[in-house]
A and B are shown apart, each in its own frame.
Chain A
Amino acid sequence: MKPVPEPDDETPNLPGLRTWPAVYAAVLGVFVLWVGLLAWLSAAFR
């Protein structure tokens, strides 16, 4: 196995999301939004 020179801090290069922690936070935010929407659906049509 030869080690591959690859920087761990390679940037995500996404519009508005310049670091990986920002990407992860955005993904977590979408997850919370989904749970909220599903909880609302459960309550609204009970």
Chain B
Amino acid sequence: MNTLDYAVLLVTLLSIAAYGMWATRGRRDLSGYLKGAGDTRWLTIGLSVMATQASAITFLSTPGQGYQDGLGFVQNYFGAPLALIVIAMVFLPIYRRLNVYTAYEFLGKRFDQKTRLLGAALFLVQRGLGAGITIYAPAIVLSTVFGWPLNPTIIYSGLLVTLYTVVGGSEAVNLTQKYQIGVIFAGMVAAFFVLLAKLPAGLGFGDALTIAGGMHRLEAVDFAVVTDKRYTFWTGLLGGGFLALSYFGTDQSQVQRYLGGASLRESRLGLMFNALFKIPMQFFILLLGVLVFVLYQFERPPVFFNEAAWRRVAAEGGGEKLRAIEADFAVAHVAEQQQLDAWLAAKRRSDGAATEAARAASLAAHQRVEAVRDRAKEAMAPTPGKKSNDGDYVFITFILHYLPHGVIGLLVTVFFAAALSSKAGELNALASTSVVDFYRHVIRAGASDRHYVIASKCFTGFWGLFAIAVALLAHLSENLIQASNILGSLFYGVPLGIFLVAFFLKRIGGTAVFWAAIVSLGLVWTLYATLSISYLWYNVIGCASCMILAAMLQLFTRRAAAATL
């Protein structure tokens, strides 16, 4: 990064944050602070919902996922449109009719206080940890790549978002998210066109897709009915659907975004905006990774994408081993390039038999390249026999090596804008739940609006510092986007079960659903520790277990009560 890149980064981030604080100065009432002024239009809601979900992890890690495994990860989002329709039809009208600040207030009205507090507590634990990952993820990657010190990167970016969220509340979050997502879209589109321009001369978009398809990177939909595969049409539709229903419908960081709509229509249209554009957006980000993959078939990439770590291990005494791997990688990559050239030449001659033979030879050559990369990953792993994951460094490596200055700054701004927009939504929601469901409800009832606004600001500051502390202590071994989804899947199924019972099983009471939720949480975590199934299924298991157990407990307690009469 040069001075121009740093100028783009700092001016963009600071001006959006300053505008958010200026535009929302003087908000004094609790409703305005936690839900906004109640005049938010559908586009702002739609972009805000999108910005809250799409964190820096989405833009850093997803292209790496596309590079390594292709488009299959897009299936993770297949359940989102259906889930958003259910929320717009059922959840949203009830939330708005009851004029709640948080989704968990509804649980208190429908069941009892212990169920409300359980729902709120689960949210605080899961989202508090999630907010730490939100800020840690870009910081670890960017600090490694640019040589920035990790802890100050976490602290300064964490403090910036905490500051404007404390000052401006929900409206500042919505406002800043709108501009941040604009920067994000501009940056990703710029990266796409630069990527196309950087493909070798004579290699068109169609040829790039041919190579990607031949290397199994365009397998976007898999209808296989298996439980041990992470991403299939069915895991996406069912597991992803439950995850989306729980995330968009019961996670306060999302509920808060659409509760502030000017009307039911505006909130619904904001949700439908996401139902329409979530899949194409994820597809586009994955496609960027696939195109980076194609580019690196012709231009030799680093054998291990976390180059800073590679250099460090080399300097610490592993140099000879790593240099041998680099030499093998160079030879394997040249051989693959030759096979690819032969494949494309045969394809242009429309020679079917030669095309098929060259394609098979290219694939074999690529597997030899990947075998060398596997050796590199094993050499970099802290534990012998394991592989270190460098997928999160793929896209940032491409950016640094191929994009012009200024655009590099824009793309780094994208990562920070995404981190800040997500974290702002999370902090705002954590503060709302802390104040409305715990402080105002359990600790200090009946105080003035001004008192609760001050309390909300204090809780926003507290959760901001908590997230920074989690980020400072974090260490993740999974690919970041998957780590984030795994954490969500372990927590989301059970709250969804509670809410579905609340909405659809009117005869079940609070005590039955409360104990069913506790047992189901234990079940999900035990299964996660013992089984090796796709994590998306835990959303279905947690939800189904909670609903079935609640129904059984309700039946049992009713029969027991009838027997004693």
Q: Which residues of A contact B (CB under 8 A)?
A: 1-4, 6-8, 10-14, 20, 23-24, 27-28, 30-31, 34-35, 38-39, 41-42, 44-46
Contact = CB atoms under 8 A, between A and B. Distances in A.
Contacts of B280: 34
A17 B557 CA distance: 48
B263 A6 contact: yes
A14 to B, nearest CB: 8
A30 B268 contact: no
B559 interface: no
27 contacts: A2-B99, A3-B99, A6-B96, A10-B265, A11-B265, A12-B265, A12-B269, A20-B268, A23-B272, A24-B85, A24-B88, A24-B272, A27-B81, A27-B275, A27-B276, A31-B78, A31-B275, A31-B279, A35-B78, A38-B74, A39-B220, A39-B221, A41-B220, A42-B221, A44-B213, A45-B213, A45-B218
Contacts of A38: 71, 74, 220-221, 283
A28 B241 CA distance: 14
B100 interface: yes
Nearest to A21: B89
Contact of B279 (A1, A8, A28, A34): A34
Nearest to A1: B99
B212 interface: yes
B230 to A, nearest CB: 17
B346 interface: no
Interface string B211-243: 011100011111000000000010000000000
Q: Which 9 A-B pairs have the closest CB atoms?
A: A45-B213, A38-B220, A31-B81, A39-B221, A45-B218, A4-B99, A27-B275, A8-B93, A24-B85
Contacts of B279: 31, 34
B170 to A, nearest CB: 17
Contacts of A44: 213
Contacts of A2: 99
Contacts of B98: 1, 3
B268 A12 contact: yes
B97 A4 contact: yes
Q: For the side of the interface on B, what is the size category? A: 35 or more
Contacts of A13: 265
Given A1-B99, A28-B81, A46 B263 contact: no
Contacts of B210: 45
A20 B269 CA distance: 10
A12 B272 CA distance: 11
B92 to A, nearest CB: 10
A18 to B, nearest CB: 13
A6 B276 contact: no
A19 to B, nearest CB: 12
Given A31-B279, A45-B213, A4 B263 contact: no
Nearest to B287: A41
Contact of A10 (B213, B264, B272, B283): B264
B85 A27 contact: yes
Nearest to B85: A24
A35 to B, nearest CB: 6
B263 A42 contact: no
Contacts of A28: 81-82, 85
